[in-house]
Amino acid sequence: MSTKHNSFTRVLCTILSIAMLISAIPFAMAHAEDETPAVVSFGTYNSKAVLWNIAKTTDDAYLLIAKNALVKAKFNSKATGFPDYGASELATYITGTLLPAAFTEAQQTKLAVFTTNYVASNSGTAANKTYDAKMSIPSSADISDDFLKKATLIGTSTANNYWTADAAVSSATDKKVNCISSGGTKMTQAQNASTVAVRPVISLAKADLLALTAIDGATFTDAADNAINYVVRGEGFKVALADAYNQSTVVVKAGEATLTANDNGVYTVPADATAITVEGVEMNPADFTAYDAALAAAKAIDSSAYDDETWAPVKELLDNELDKESLTGADQATIDQYTTDLNAAVANLPADFRAYDEALANITEIKTKGDAGELYDLTPSYIFNADYTEELTEGIAKTLKLHIATVLNKYKEATIHTYKIGQQADVDKATAAYNLVASKVGYLSANITNWKAEKEFIEGLDAEKYNDVDEAKAACATIVAQHDYETDKVDVTHQDEVDAAAAQLKEIADPFRNGEKYIPTDFSALDAALAAAQAINLDDYITTEEYEADGIDEKTEKPVNEFYYGEDGAIADEIKQQFSAALEAAQNVDRELNAIKYQSQANIDDITEKLEQNMARLVPLKRLTKSQKNIMKIKAFFEKIANFFKMIKEISETLWHLLGMLFRKEIDLYSVFEMIGLDQKYLDILMKLGIKPMEPEEPEEPEEPAAGTQAVLA
């Protein structure tokens, strides 16, 4: 059939045919230019269904091109020129072998004869050719390049060719076969050509090809499950439901007639069918069973057990719950994915370690302090089962110290802290084990060392060293009276009370301990001595040289003017030096180091005394003026006269006493001379002259007591 139709009748028939098809088939017809190309399953080749695309539409027919290459065979030729396609070995193979192999006789009756136009050229002379057949190689004049270019072109010519080679053939020379160039360019004929792959073309009447419009939730396939969207009358198709629609009860109709699928699910299109409709494809209701369970489990989790970063994956999903009212079976994948994500996020959560961490910290503290001899008594013995979930009455008793070490090793922190939320029971078991052992631990006695030390310090304060000692001791006694921890002992749980009492005592003791209460050293005498010494000018006192110039009495070895110089005049310079040394020592006293009385007062008093003594020794060395010297001489003269008269008075009084004693014979003259120290030789002379010592008187005899009286004992 010619592709050129110019008569008015033909045009009118075409318009009416299109109108009838549009009214009879309520589905949109797919064309080559549509986004989704038309796919038709028609015929079989090598036991596989042949799929076709609608490559061209005429007024009353469709031109279909195979989606895949069908011909794979070698063609040999010894011809030196280009033969007509109709006489070619390939054309003979397609019409004589491929066509009957692909279609049954009934199917062949549905194929329309169509004409292929091509240009043949021998020795460079082009000639228009036509070829009529029910199956042929596509011509670029009839089929657009969109379909032809899907396979590799044969030959080295840039012109369009009518068939293509197997894409698996890599050598260009192996792809050359006998062919007719559509571009008129002469090509060299290949000898012994390799396998040829051809996408043949067929033609079907429009009435025999029905569109299968896509339906949400359903797709159409052929018996071999290849996706199609067109079907040929008398052929079959399947309806495949998507997972979200697989609960639908499908009704397939051809017009008003309901079609029944065979055991393989294939519906056969009636020969007179004008349209295919599918009813009953409905969305499955969404299944929220797993979703609800996952959501409930996630919401039951105490989020306060986690920090923001850890909880974030679960929180994000909980904050974005699915709208169950708006979701259907089409969203089941979304629902399932949400459920999967939520379960995964929850499963990835660590277990709740709060109670475990608290129990671990408690038993670790018990172990640490107990091992160090603080707070806890780890010596009692107990028996526990292997998992430390209960205390036993029979078995081998071990000390709490050994039990704590065992349970910490059995439920290692590094292992427990790797557990996820699904292992919460294991975490709780470890927590219970720690708590059970810890519950058996008792307390040591409270430590009263500081309390006792402060108490004894205050009670031992020396009033000779400190001020306010009595007040401090009274305050201490008041605190001790409230609770004497030496006589009324408490355990370590009362350590805070003991420490508080110790702190009160320390507050009393600290001013004494840090020196605030020390009685300060008295520097007043030293200051007075310093003031007096610093006012002294040593130039106002004589020197040793001046002393020696005045002379020394050889008999007395004293200064001639003793009243002036005193007895130390001979060492005047030394006295000055000793004064200067005493003054320097007094001036250089470190008052901070000597601030405490009981430590330094004796030393300060000694320095003061030495300074005062050296000042006193300077006094006789005072350099006097001439007038002062004369006054002193006059005073000395009158003092001698006064002493002379005093001596005369004493002599006269003594003589009178002596005369009275001689008169009363209380003493003799010899004894007088003896008392004045007269030498014995002179005393002997006096003896010769008759001056002798008196004879001692005889003691009187005591009278006899009168008769009848008793002697009185003296």
pLDDT number for residue 117: 74
Question: What are the structure tokens assigned to 149, written together?
Answer: 């270019």
Residue 171 DSSP class: -
pLDDT of residue 7: 40
pLDDT at 77: 45
SS3 content of the chain, % helix, strand, coil (to 5): 45, 15, 40
Beta bridge partners of 121: 126
Residue 239 pLDDT: 96
pLDDT tens readout for residues 156-184? 333 333 333 333 334 433 333 334 444 43
Q: Collect all residues with Cβ–Cβ distance below 8 Å to 492 and sequence separation of at least 6.
A: 375, 443, 444, 445, 446, 447
Q: Which strand (E) or helix (H) includes residue 345?
A: helix 332-347
Asked if residues 585 and 530 have their Cβ atoms less than 8 Å apart, the reply is no
pLDDT for the residue 550: 67
Per the rule left: phi > 0, alpha: psi between -120 and 50, beta: everything else, 181 is: beta
Residue 237 pairs in a beta bridge with: 267
Query: Which pLDDT score, from 0 to 100, does residue 557 have?
Result: 64
What gap in Å lies between CA 89 and CA 179, rounded to an integer?
10
Q: What is the DSSP secondary-structure string of 559-601?
A: ETTHHHH-TTGGGHHHHHHHHHHHHHHHHT--TTTT-BHHHHH
Residue 198's DSSP bridge partners are 71
Residue identified by tokens 């030495």 is 610
Q: Using 70 as the pLDDT threshold, list the residues of the chain that sit under it.
A: 1-36, 71-85, 87-88, 118-127, 139-142, 145-146, 148-197, 550-570, 628-629, 632, 696-714
Indicate the length of the chain as a whole number: 714
Query: Which pLDDT score is estimated for 36?
Result: 64
Residue 66 class from Cβ within 10 Å (0-12 exposed, 13-18 middle, 19+ buried)?
A: buried
For position 81, what pLDDT does the model report?
Answer: 46
